Structures are given as structure tokens and as C-alpha cells.
């Protein structure tokens, strides 16, 4: 089967096309990303007409790129930016009418559960009890559990893009702005520590999302993994060493650093602060970085629906 998933996030519209079969590992065949930074088009909690036009243009571009692949299924999903916009319902209706796609609006908890599934499949059962930290553009997802789906999953409005937009007005941000974000994140995360810990003590803490992967490339280190794979680990002390340094640089200068791409540079400081406070709140000294996240989780659930309890493809699927 050839499957496509279009992830409409707060920062990018990202198309991923894979070859896949029930019980097999999805094999990436094509990827296309359009940087949108949807958060900058939000006024009074609503997505502006300009933002809607840019969004539809990006979606149309991805649809055209996907057409030659003759997909067996095309999954289109949106997360916090559209979900939480005051005119979100009208925006969805306009997108579906103009682009001709069915849009699946994920809740924050669903984002956490699907990402947790992807992380579990990547690391396997030997990883034991997992705790997930995922920092998107609009929200922070946390989840914990020992199975394929977490016992506890929740979402907080502290994505890297949202944090940057709400707390930073200068580039680079001032010390008072950084302090305000740190204190707000500390308070919000502190309120849910008990809920996450109620699922049990994790054997491994895993971070996912482009923000965390970028920070790991900058401040983390590589270790031997299984087979020829490499394991990326990010230590909190490394993160806390780099965060003040990148906070003193402007967005353009940060792109000269390893791992900090142009589409992430404006929000990487906010993401670093949120991650630091999350690790501090849960007393996490290091985390493993997962290459799989929400998109892979959505694809995996689609594949799972094609398999019955005997592990055989469902007839007529």
C-alpha cells in the first residue's frame, strides 16, 4: 500500500508518503514541507483571511505533489492552531470545500496518544515503561504508560511557537521575557506532574518532535543503538548549558548552529525553555530522542485497522 499523511501543524504543513503493509515498518518514499508559521496569522484568537489563504495554498501544493503517487489512502490532520482558533470550525469548512479533503481535527490528548504509539513501536517493548515529552508548535504533549497506548495522556498550551508568540516581543528575547516564560511553564507543568506520575515510574523518558530533535542535534550526543542505528540522547545539563547561549543570539545567527534550521530558529529558544522546565519538573536528567512522532502514529493506527486479531489482512479493507 502507498499511504500519505498531511500534518497541518502550527509551524508547518508537512506531507509524508510511505510504502506500508500490515505488520510492516512504514518505508518513507517522499516528504515535502511547507513552512507556514500559522501562529503569526492569529489575531484575537482567530485565523486571519490571509492565514487561511496561505494555509489553503500550502495544502493545495502538497496535494499536487502527492497526486502522482496514486495513494491508497490520504490522511489529513490538523492540531492545536486550528483546533483552538475561535473560527476553527469555519476554517475547517473552508479548507474542506476549497481543497477537497476531509480534515481530521485531533484533540491534544489524541496527539499525545498517537505520538506515544509511534514512540512505543520505535523503541519496542524492551524499553519498559515510557514517558513521552513532545513539543509541537502550539502545544506540549505528555504521556506515560507501559503499553502501546498510554495510561495518562494530556496536552498543555506550551508549544514552542505559541510560547514564543505569547512571551517574546524582541529578538533576541529579553531576560525578563525569558523569566516570564520559564515561570509560566513551571507553574503549568507543575500542576500536572501528579497526573503523569500516577501512571508509574518510567524506565525511559523519550522526547519527540522537530524542536526536540533540533535541540538534541545542537546539545545532545550520539551513542550506539541496536544494529547500525544510532541512539540520540539529550542531557538536561547540556540543554541548560546551551539554552542561555542561543537566547542571546538573534534568529538569523542561530541558523549557523548545527541542528537549528531556518524554519525553527525563531522558536527554538521558547522550545528549549519549555523542555528544560519539563525535564526539571519530572526530575529527568536525560531523554532519548525518537525519530518517529505524530505522523507515524497516525499511519500506524491506519495500518492496524487493516489487520484482524489473527494478524491477517481484513478482507475488503
pLDDT computed for residue 311 by the predictor: 53
pLDDT computed for residue 263 by the predictor: 86
3-state secondary structure 223-267: EECCCCCEEEEEEHHHHHHHHHHHHCCCHHHHCCCCCCCCCCCCC
pLDDT computed for residue 168 by the predictor: 97
Largest CA distance in the chain: 61
CA distance 160 to 153: 19
How is residue 24 written as a grid cell?
Answer: 510492516
At 282 the three-state DSSP class reads coil
Residues 150, 134 contacting (CB under 8 angstroms): no
Strands 42-43 and 46-47: antiparallel
Smallest Cα–Cα separation from 186: which of 273, 284, 285? 273
pLDDT computed for residue 226 by the predictor: 61
Q: Left (φ > 0), alpha (ψ -120 to 50) or beta: where does 200 sit?
A: left
pLDDT in tens, the chain (317 residues): 899 999 999 889 999 999 988 888 899 999 999 988 888 899 999 999 999 999 999 999 999 999 999 899 999 999 988 999 999 999 999 999 999 999 999 999 999 999 999 999 999 999 999 999 999 999 999 999 999 999 999 999 999 999 999 999 999 999 999 999 999 999 999 999 999 999 999 999 999 999 999 999 999 887 666 656 678 999 999 999 999 999 999 999 999 999 999 889 999 999 999 999 999 999 999 999 999 999 999 999 998 887 644 455 544 43
pLDDT computed for residue 116 by the predictor: 98
Residues 105, 37 contacting (CB under 8 angstroms): no
pLDDT computed for residue 307 by the predictor: 64
Bridge partners, residue 7, by sequence: 14, 77
pLDDT computed for residue 316 by the predictor: 41
Amino acid at each position: 500500500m502507498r499511504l500519505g499523511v498531511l500534518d497541518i501543524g502550527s509551524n508547518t504543513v508537512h506531507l509524508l508518503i510511505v510504502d506500508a503493509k500490515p505488520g510492516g515498518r512504514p518505508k518513507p518514499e517522499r516528504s515535502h514541507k511547507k513552512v507556514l508559521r500559522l501562529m503569526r496569522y492569529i489575531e484575537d484568537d482567530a485565523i486571519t483571511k490571509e492565514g487561511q489563504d496561505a494555509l489553503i495554498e500550502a495544502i493545495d501544493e502538497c496535494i499536487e505533489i502527492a497526486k502522482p503517487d496514486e495513494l491508497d489512502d490520504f490522511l489529513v490532520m490538523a492540531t492545536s492552531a486550528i483546533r483552538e482558533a475561535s473560527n476553527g470550525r469555519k476554517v475547517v469548512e473552508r479548507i474542506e470545500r476549497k481543497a477537497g479533503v476531509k480534515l481530521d481535527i485531533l484533540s491534544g490528548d489524541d496527539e499525545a496518544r498517537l505520538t506515544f504509539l509511534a514512540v512505543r513501536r520505535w523503541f519496542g517493548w524492551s524499553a519498559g515503561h515510557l514517558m513521552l515529552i513532545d513539543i509541537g508548535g502550539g502545544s506540549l504533549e505528555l504521556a506515560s504508560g507501559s503499553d502501546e497506548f498510554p495510561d495518562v495522556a494530556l496536552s498543555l498550551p506550551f508549544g514552542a511557537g505559541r510560547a514564543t508568540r505569547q512571551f517574546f516581543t524582541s529578538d533576541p528575547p529579553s531576560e525578563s521575557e525569558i523569566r516570564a516564560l520559564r515561570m509560566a511553564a513551571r507553574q503549568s507543568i507543575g500542576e500536572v506532574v501528579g497526573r503523569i506520575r500516577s501512571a508509574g515510574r518510567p524506565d525511559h523518558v523519550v522526547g519527540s518532535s522537530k524542536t526536540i530533535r533540533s535541540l538534541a542535534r545542537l546539545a545532545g550526543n550520539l551513542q550506539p543503538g541496536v544494529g547500525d542505528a544510532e541512539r540520540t540522547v539529550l542531557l538536561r545539563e547540556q540543554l541548560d548549558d546551551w539554552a542561555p547561549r542561543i537566547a542571546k543570539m538573534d534568529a538569523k545567527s542561530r541558523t549557523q548552529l548545527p541542528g537549528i534550521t531556518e524554519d525553527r530558529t525563531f522558536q527554538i529558544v521558547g522550545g528549549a525553555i519549555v523542555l528544560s522546565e519539563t525535564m526539571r519538573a519530572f526530575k529527568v536528567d536525560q531523554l532519548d530522542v525518537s525519530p518517529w512522532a505524530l505522523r507515524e502514529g497516525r499511519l500506524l493506527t491506519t495500518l492496524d485497522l487493516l489487520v484482524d486479531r489473527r494478524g491477517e489482512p481484513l478482507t475488503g479493507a
